[in-house]
Structure 1
Amino acid sequence: MNGFGITAAKGFRAVGVHAGIKKEHLDLGIVVSDVPAAAAGVFTLNRVRAACVQLNESVVQNGILQAIVVNSGNANACTGAKGWEDAQTMQAVTADQLGIPAAHVAVASTGVIGVELPMEQVQTGIKAACREAAVEGFETFAKAITTTDTCLKQYQATVNIEGKQVTIGGAVKGSGMIHPNMATMLGFLTTDAAVGAADLQQLLRDVTNESFNMITVDGDTSTNDMVLVMANGQAGTSLLSPEHPDWPVFAQAFQDVAVYLAKSIARDGEGATKLVEARVHGAKSVEDARKIAKAIIGSNLVKTAVYGADANWGRILCAVGYAGVDIVQESVDIWLGNIPVAKKGMGIPFDEEAAKEYLLGDPVVIKVDLGLGEAAATAYGCDLTYDYVKINASYRS
């Protein structure tokens, strides 16, 4: 079997195992590069930060990664000195099993906050995962990092650079506690491109602002969120940088993978039935467009209207108005798909049945023209359903 997702790029192996953190289901995964790789990472902006986030910030600063160990079912957040010690132990055990420096290992955790990790099971799971990691392990890895996700979230893209195939792949998890300010998720990307750590870090920041920071499900920014990238150079090209003629090709493929994975999280929001996109154009600046797109996609009133197939354009205009951006109400036009529902900040006659039929579909695209400039941005989210409450009312049980 060939690799896919997290192991699609050359020189990467992965696996997911059941360590016993959850009563059943896979709950611990590892991804390993055959050689040391350039590292990049972005992390949650929540000021309550899990031990793994703090640990990985120092790892990424060193610019080298060779392995990432991930557990689900327990966030190891708000666990004090013991949590910090446990994160370091996960790092050390992984490094020892793989025969690599501890500083080249990142640690990620997701799940219930405020509960200590069952470290005996975790260490046993790490040892098994290190033994079993293989190119074919992409699917079990993708399963092992999930919590309330209803599907696996993997993707890859391959481009031709210097006559050689360069691949970017990845796997993410995320379904609830999803809101911009670092993704509110766990995401792992791998590539066999040769890229310096500084350029990789800048690329990841730029791409995150177009992808993972443009999704929301419920407005909650978690304590553990991160995206980590490893670039191991195994494709055999020369070093890629913004000065390389093929850099735009690589950067676009990298962004395509990130956007696909971000949209897969938004589509799989807890209890969601459809993906919702807010496409804002005609803004004075990209930042203005982003703020308004995220306000629309984050509005519970908009989300519930989409779920109920109610063409309530007033809720959309309301979100535009409170996004914290200077607008001119009389310049705002709104569409549901290709159906115009408001012009110059006021309602216009439209076919209610056609609009309802459109809102029953998937995806739903909300388009807003601010009529003020040339900048644009797109945000991704989902509808808000009864099942979201059911899922989160019993999360710990």
Structure 2
Amino acid sequence: MNTVEQVEKQTNSIKVLQGSITTPLGFLAGGLHCGIKRMRYDLGWIFSVVPASVAAVYTTNLFQAPPIKVTQDSIFTDRKIQGVIVNSGVANACTGEEGLANAYTMRKMFSEQLGIEEHLVAVSSTGVIGNQLPMEKIIDGISSINDIQQQNDASDFEKAILTTDTFSKNACVTLEVNGKRITIGGAAKGSGMIHPNMATMLAFITTDAKVQQTALQQALKKVVDETFNMITVDGDSSTNDMVLLLANGQAENEELTPEHPDWDLFLQGVNEVSKSLAKQIAQDGEGATKLIEVQVKGAASNEDAKKIAKSIIGSNLVKAAIFGGDPNWGRIVAAIGYSGVELKSTKIKVDLGPITVVDNGLPYLFSEQEAASYLQQNDTIHIFVDIYDADGKATAWGCDLTYDYVKINASYRT
């Protein structure tokens, strides 16, 4: 399956282009194989030439893994991060005091390798839950990061953080603030155990903008609520997941705060990168063949619209019907009905792409063959819902549910 297209275009003064986490000024990244996995890259890193202001959002799973606790500890010190070390293959989750000590060792080793203070390093892990990290391999891997400039390759980092993903995920935009060119880049992983409210994903966003730290955290939380928290693959939430946003100020712009005239433009840029990464994660759901986008409008509030969109995108029956090319609109209506939102069922309209299947809460005469053909022939399926009540709106993303999802997860550890 091809990744979500990323071609250059102009959108509200934001230019979307081919790029990565190293496109913003002052960021380097790389990856290598240290032996956690049999053959694939499994250790990646990000480095900023100066300590960067940082914002973070973490998984809502109560079993937060040791790497998250170490990263929280680092950020708490002075809200700056200069290096990020990530391993894939073993999640270092549910590993007790030994797992926590190992996460701190990763932080210490990487900081020494870079020659920076320990608290300037964030740590992240992804993979199988319950196994201790193979620390000798990880330490050897970190020790081999001996020339950050020569080992600089964002695509290696993107590969090193993957687990069951089938493709690397990246996004990049540029915009102008006070006559200065600002760049925002991102990389992510995620394929299974994906569910709204920060589920099984890792996302790393870099920008050379100068941004006040409190404002940066506010920006990330707002954007995550509209993007990463609006995707689902299988309804399972993981233990390790987080989004990190680093701003190192190398663009030398006037510091951005919510009072700055270009603040909303910066927010749009972060949103554009995050939305692209979120859609790529949804598209790459384990075993998925189709990306599903649900747009809801006319709800009493944006929150109500979010609940309805998430309910539809999270329905296994809806997902299975789309995989089978079955325009079974009853499953969509049922998901709307159990979303917990108060609404008038007699007003609802539902479209499958260009085809209306429900109007005024009643079946609408349509061609089953045409609707089935739409589901079968398109890689991206659009579901439009209009509540005809007020102005609330939201968009959510997910994927179909296939036989391969069961195969992949039935043999995940083997």
Normalising TM by the smaller chain, what interval? Answer: over 0.9
Quote the residue 1:18 is aligned against.
33
Residue in structure 2 matched with residue 244 of structure 1 by the alignment: 260
Amino acid at match of 2:404: D
How far apart, in 2, do the equivalents of 1:135 and 1:64 lie? 23
**What TM-score does the superposition give when structure 1 sets the normalisation length?**
0.98
Query: Counterpart of 2:79?
Result: 63
The answer to whether residue 405 in structure 2 is matched with residue 383 in structure 1 is: no
Conserved in 1, the CA contact under 8 Å of 2:75 and 2:119?
A: no
2:278 pairs with 1:269: no
**Cα distance in 2, alignment partners of residues 351 and 17 from structure 1:** 52
Aligned to 2:7: none
> What is the rounded CA distance, in whole Å, between the counterparts of 1:157 and 1:130 in structure 2?
30
Secondary structure class of the residue paired with 2:218? helix
Unaligned runs of 5+ in 1: none
1:15–1:133 contact (8 Å) kept in structure 2: no
Structure 2: runs of 5+ lacking an equivalent: 1-17
Q: Distance in 2 between matches of 1:51 and 1:28?
A: 17
Secondary structure of the residue aligned to 1:106 is strand
1:186 offset after TM fit, Å? 0.4
Contact 2:196 2:232 survives alignment (8 Å): yes
Give the alignment partner of residue 314 of structure 1, picking from 330, 337, 352. 330
CA–CA separation in structure 1 for the residues paired with 2:132 and 2:30: 24
- The SS at the match of 1:201 is helix
Q: Deviations over 1:88-146 (max 9, x none)?
A: 00001111111111111000000000000010110111122353455841000000000
Alpha-carbon displacement from aligned partner over 1:155-202 (angstroms, at most 9, x marks no partner): 100111121210000100000000011142000000000001111100
Aligned counterparts, 1:20-99, within 5 A: 20-61=35-76, 62-99=78-115
Calculate the aligned-residue CA RMSD, in Å.
1.2
Paired residues of 1:31 and 1:133 also in contact (CA < 8 A)? no
What is the match of residue 223 of structure 1? 239
Query: Aligned partners of 2:317 and 2:267: how far apart in 1?
Result: 36
Identity, % of aligned positions: 53
Task: Report SS of the residue matched to 1:6.
Answer: coil
Letter in 1 for 2:277: L
SS in 1 for 2:145: helix
* Equivalent position of 2:126 in the other structure: 110
Aligned partners of 1:138 and 1:246: how far apart in 2?
A: 28
Who is 2:409 aligned against? Answer: 392
Q: CA deviation at 1:370?
A: 1.1
1:30 and 1:129 in contact (8 A); partners too: no
AA at the equivalent of 2:407:
K
- Give TM-score, length-normalised by structure 2: 0.94
Counterpart for residue 282 of structure 1: 298
Contact 1:174 1:265 in 2 (8 A): yes
For 1:224-373, what aligned pairs fall within 5 Å after superposition? 224-360=240-376, 361-373=378-390
Which residue of structure 1 aligns with residue 13 of structure 2?
none
The match for 1:207 is 223
CA shift in 2, pair 1:303/1:134, >3 Å: farther
Q: Is the 8 A contact 1:169 1:191 kept in 2?
A: yes
- Write the letter of the residue equivalent to 2:413: R
